[in-house]
Amino acid sequence: EAKRLGRNRVERYSDHLKTRNLIIKRTGDAILKSLADDDFTAYYQPQFDAHTLEINGVEALARWMHPERGIQPPAAFLDIAENLNVVAQIDARVLDHALLQLSRWRAADLGIERVSVNISAQRLFDENLISRLEQLDLIPGSVSFELLESISFDDTSHAVAASIERLRKLGIAIEIDDFGTGYASILSLLKLSPSRLKIDRELVGPVVDNPAQRRLIASIVDIARTFGIGIVAEGVETMEHVAILRDLGCHTLQGYALARPMDAQSLIEFAKQHRVKQDEMLLMRA
């Protein structure tokens, strides 16, 4: 009896694997088709100056316009895209969308002067990317690349440093994403001379209830300041977080408390309204 049950379990497990593999295969095919159909786009999440609450930049976040399921976040496709080796292609689409939007924001005089894009480690060495960027004549400081701390800087540190140096010559700023949750040593991160560290939301979340966590953020801010690096706090979910993180010295805040990621048109509306609100606040103070 035990044997029979065991065999059933094994069969059920292999059924489960088959279904899983089928889903992965189907999703992979759909991703490839969507790349061909240009169905990847970006949402934009504003970032705010912690003191004035003005928008001081925007992060572009990949979205898949799935033909049946609608807008999908990276969790729905990034791993599978990684296995298919097409993350670089998705990054490229997001960058194109982001650069186009940046020129629209500038033309509309919205006060949004910077866009950050997430870049997979493999893309850092992409000759096509770098030579295309070289032809673009970017305004220095208007584009940042967010690198995940989990990319292994140590194995490839020389090659990474050389690529980053070329990007920096083009006026592209480097930011370390999800800081505090990756495996890289602080030393290897500082060697990249990032412009900003983005403190991961896992570290940011607990600051409200936990004094030790507040001291941790304060120490990170302190280290960053010593090296002339800016701090962005991610996952700022309540107005209480806003006040605490500002008082801890974070320059820039990003999170649901202030704005969610939104499509390009909604961002323009949001930025206009935000400006009106800010002007009203200034008038009230005067």
According to CB under 5 A, which one of 87, 95, 146, 179 is a site residue for Mg ion? Answer: 146
Give the shortest CB-162-to-ligand C2E separation in angstroms: 21
Give the shortest CB-258-to-ligand C2E separation in angstroms: 8
Q: Say how far apart CA 146 and CA 98 lie, in whole Å.
A: 13
Q: Is 73 left (phi over 0), alpha (psi -120 to 50) or beta?
A: beta
Question: By CB under 5 A, is residue 254 in contact with Mg ion?
Answer: no
Q: Which partner from the list ligand C2E, Mg ion, none does 91 bind, CB cut-off 5 to 8 Å by kind?
A: ligand C2E
According to CB under 5 A, which one of 56, 118, 142, 144 is a site residue for Mg ion? Answer: 118
According to CB under 5 A, which one of 58, 143, 177, 194 is a site residue for Mg ion? Answer: 177
Write the burial class of residue 190 (CB in 10 Å: 0-12 exposed, 13-18 middle, 19+ buried).
Answer: middle
Report the DSSP beta bridge partners of residue 44. Answer: 60, 262
Q: What is the DSSP letter of 262?
A: B
Give the shortest CB-147-to-ligand C2E separation in angstroms: 10
Q: Which partner from the list Mg ion, ligand C2E, none does 194 bind, CB cut-off 5 to 8 Å by kind?
A: none
The footprint of Mg ion on this chain (CB under 5 A) covers a number of residues equal to 5
User: Which among 39-47, 69-77, 107-115, 233-241 is the span making contact with Mg ion, rule CB under 5 A?
Assistant: 233-241
Q: Which partner from the list Mg ion, ligand C2E, none does 107 bind, CB cut-off 5 to 8 Å by kind?
A: none
Closest Cα to residue 235, out of 261, 262, 274, 202? 202
Report the DSSP beta bridge partners of residue 269. Answer: none
Strands (E) in the chain, as ranges, are 40-49, 55-66, 70-72, 115-118, 143-148, 173-179, 196-199, 230-233, 252-253
Question: By CB under 5 A, is residue 178 in contact with Mg ion?
Answer: yes
Q: Which partner from the list ligand C2E, Mg ion, none does 87 bind, CB cut-off 5 to 8 Å by kind?
A: ligand C2E
Contact residues for Mg ion (CB under 5 A)?
118, 146, 177-178, 234
